[in-house]
Structure 1
Amino acid sequence: MRSTLFSRRAALVLSFSVLATGLTACGDDDPVAPPALTITETAAGSAQLSTLVSALTAAGLTQTLNGTGPFTVFAPVNSAFSALPADVVQRLLETGNRSILTKVLTFHVVPGRITASQLQNGQTLTTVEGTTLPVTVANGVVTVGGARVTTPDISASNGVVHLIDGVLLGSMDIVDNAIVRGFSSLVSAVTTAGLGTALRGGNLTVFAPTNAAFAAIPGGAPTTAAALTPVLQLHVVGTRALSSQLTNGQILNTLLTGSNLTVGLTSGVRVTGPKNFATVTAANIVAKNGVIHVIDTVLLP
C-alpha cells in the first residue's frame, strides 16, 4: 500500500512538473501584448498630433495626461492648428501665456472615459477647465464645440482620444482673446485702467481698436487710468451682440454712463460715438463671456 501511495505521489509531482514546463514554454514562445499607451504616449506616437504634443509640453500637461485618469480627450489634429492665424498659435505657446494655453487645452479634456457611442445629440460635457462643451450628432457626424470628430475611439490605458478638425477656443474670455490676437495696446490700456476683471466677466460686446488705431489717436493715447477708463467703457456694451443681431440705426448702451453708440449698416458696419465713428474690420470673435468686433478707430467720449 505504501508503495502504491508513493507511486501516485510521484505521478502527481511529475504531472505538475510537466504542466509547469509546458506553461513556461508557452510563455517563451508566445509574445505578450505590451501594456496600452497613455494618452500622452498615444499622442506622441501620432504624426497628426505633433502640434498638440508641443502645446501640452509648453503647458506642462504631459504628466497630467500620463496620470491615472480616466480622461476623454478631443484632440485637434495638426491641420486644425494650422487653420488658426499663425501669430495666435505662436502667442499661445509663449511662456507668458501659459495660463491661457492651459485653459485652452483643458477645455479639450473631459473627466471619464466616453466613447463615441456614448455621445448624444444635445448633450453637454463638463470639461476639466470647467466650461461645458455642446455635442451635436446628425447624420452620423459628431461635433463637439463646433469641431467635427474625424477619428473616434483611440483607446489609451488611461482613457480615450477622439481626433477633431478644429481647435476649441471657447474657454478664452475677452481679455484672453485680446492677448493672443495681438491687441497689445488695448490690453495695456485695460491693465492701466484696472478693467481686466470687468472684461473677464459678464456677457459683453467689445469694439476692440487695433494697435494702429491707438497709435493714431490725435495727441497720443491717454496714459492714466482716469483718462483711459471712460474711453474704454465707451467701447463696451453690456450685452452680447453678434454682427447678425445689429440693425441699422440701432442704439447700443455702453458701460460709459450717458454715452451710447449708434450702428450704421449702409456702408459696411459702422459704430458712431459722441465725437467720432469707427468701421468694423473683423466681426464675431466669440469669447467665453461675449464677442469682440475689431474696429479701425478709437472712439472718443
Structure 2
Amino acid sequence: MKNLIKKMSLACIALAMLSCSDDDNNTPQQQTIAAIAAGNSDFSTLVTALNRTGLTATLDGNGQFTVFAPTNAAFQTFFSSLGSNVTVNNVDVNVLKNILLNHVVATEIKSTDIPAATYVSTLSPISTAANAPTISMFVQKSGATVTINGGVDSKGAVVSTADVDASNGVIHIVNRVIQIPTLVDHVVDNPEFDTLQTVVTSTGGAFGDQSAVLSALSGLTAASPATLFAPNNAAFTSLISELTTAGISPTGPQFSSVLQYHVVGGNVRSTALPSVVSGSSAGVVPTLNGQNITISLTGGAKITGTFSPARPASNIIATDIQGSNGVIHVLDKVLLPTL
C-alpha cells in the first residue's frame, strides 16, 4: 500500500510538472517593435518608411529601443508640410531615414521612468561622418502627459498612447512626426531658456532690437554650425539684479554684444573642451562678438569673460544639447564682455 501511494504521488508531481511545461509552451512570445508595427494598420506608413530606409531589421533585432511611433495621420500631416505631392514613397530616402532615427532612442524608457524634464540622445546623426554626434530630444512629463520637443506648437509631438511593450523595447505612439530640432528650436522648446528666448526675439523695448542676432542663429547650418553657451532663467535673474545694483542699464546694441558673446564657431562638444583648454590658446576662444572667453576645467567646467571689474566664472551645468546646426551647453551665469 505504501508503495502504491508513493507511486501515485510521483505520478501527480510528474503530471503537475507536465502541465506547467504545457502552460509555458502556450505562452505567446512577445513581438518585436517591427512586428508590432507590421500588425497595426495605423502604422502602415511607418512600416513602409522602415522598409524603404532599411531600418526594419534594426527594430526587429536584438537590443533595447524606445520608439516614438507616428501614426498614419501624423505622417500625412508631415508630408503635406513638405509639399502637396510628397509621400512616404517619394520623399528623399536620406531625409526619411534621419527623421525616423530621430524617433528612436537606444535604450528602453517606460513612461513611468520619465522625469519632469530631461534630454535623451536619438539615433539621428548630425552628419555622415563616422561617430557623428546624434540629435538630442527634449522630453517633458506633466502628470500622465509626455511631450517631445515642445509638442505640436513647436516641431515636436505629444504621446497619445504610452508603453506598448515589445521584446526589444517599448513603443510610445505620438500624434505628430518629430522634426529634427535646430539650435534655436532647442532654446524655444525648453522652459529653462524662456528668458533667453525673450531677449533673442526682442524687437525693441528694454532689450532693444535683436533681430540680427536671431537671424544669425537661425541661419546656422550643418556645414557651418555654432556652439551656444546658453544662460538659464536663473542666470538672467541674477544678472538683472547685479546690473541694477551696479547702476548699469545696457543699451540694445550692448545686449546684442552680450548675446553674441555666448556663441562660438563650430560644433564644440564637451569631449572637445579638454583639447581647447590644453591647446596653444590655453582655453581662450573667440566669440561671435569679436571678444574672447576663457574656458577652464579646474574644479569643473567654467567660463570667464572680459568684463571689468572681474566677475565670478560661469559654470557649465549641462552639456551637449545637440541640434542639427549646433550644440548647447547650459550656464548658471550670464557672460559679460567688455561693454
Q: TM-score, normalised by structure 2?
A: 0.48
- Identify unmatched segments of 5+ residues in structure 1: 1-34, 44-48, 106-148, 152-161
In 2: Cα distance, 1:181 partner to 1:94 partner:
7
Q: Given the alignment, which residue of 238, 258, 265 partners 2:297? A: 265
Worse-matched range after superposition: 66-75 or 192-201: 66-75
Q: Given the alignment, which residue of 189, 199, 205 partners 2:199? A: 189
- CA deviation string 1:56-77 (max 9, x = no partner): 69xx726448997348756548
- CA deviation string 1:152-192 (max 9, x = no partner): xxxxxxxxxx969xxx9882111111122220011111111
SS in 2 for 1:293: strand
In 2: Cα distance, 1:179 partner to 1:274 partner:
28
- Work out which of the two has the higher radius of gyration on C-alpha atoms and give 1 or 2: 1
Query: 1:92, CA displacement in angstroms?
Result: 4.0
Match of 1:252 in 2: 285
Match of 1:39 in 2: 43
- CA deviation string 1:97-137 (max 9, x = no partner): 534217x99xxxxxxxxxxxxxxxxxxxxxxxxxxxxxxxx
In 2: Cα distance, 1:185 partner to 1:80 partner:
32
- CA deviation string 1:180-239 (max 9, x = no partner): 222001111111112223113141111111100000011359786323100101110022
1:199 counterpart = 2:208: no
In 2: Cα distance, 1:281 partner to 1:81 partner:
26
Q: Given the alignment, which residue of 222, 227, 230 partners 2:257? A: 230
Aligned-residue CA RMSD (Å) = 4.4
Residues 42, 71 of structure 2: 8 Å contact kept: no
In 2: Cα distance, 1:227 partner to 1:56 partner:
47
Q: CA 1:56 to 1:298, structure 2 compared with 1: closer, same or farther past 3 Å?
A: farther
Residues 222, 228 of structure 1: 8 Å contact kept: no
- Identify unmatched segments of 5+ residues in structure 2: 1-38, 48-64, 81-86, 90-95, 118-138, 142-146, 160-166, 203-209
- CA deviation string 1:50-95 (max 9, x = no partner): 9946x769xx726448997348756548837776653443564766
Worse-matched range after superposition: 72-81 or 170-179: 72-81
In 1: Cα distance, 2:272 partner to 2:296 partner:
13
SS in 2 for 1:216: helix
- CA deviation string 1:255-282 (max 9, x = no partner): 112x101111111011111023211111
In 2: Cα distance, 1:93 partner to 1:286 partner:
12
Residues 228, 329 of structure 2: 8 Å contact kept: yes
In 2: Cα distance, 1:191 partner to 1:66 partner:
29
Q: TM-score, normalised by structure 1?
A: 0.53
Match of 2:332 in 1: 296
Q: CA 1:205 to 1:224, structure 2 compared with 1: closer, same or farther past 3 Å?
A: same
Match of 1:176 in 2: 185
Q: CA 1:291 to 1:222, structure 2 compared with 1: closer, same or farther past 3 Å?
A: farther
Match of 1:282 in 2: 318
In 2: Cα distance, 1:89 partner to 1:40 partner:
28
Query: 1:38, CA displacement in angstroms?
Result: 4.1
Match of 2:30 in 1: none
In 2: Cα distance, 1:84 partner to 1:191 partner:
31
In 2: Cα distance, 1:208 partner to 1:273 partner:
14
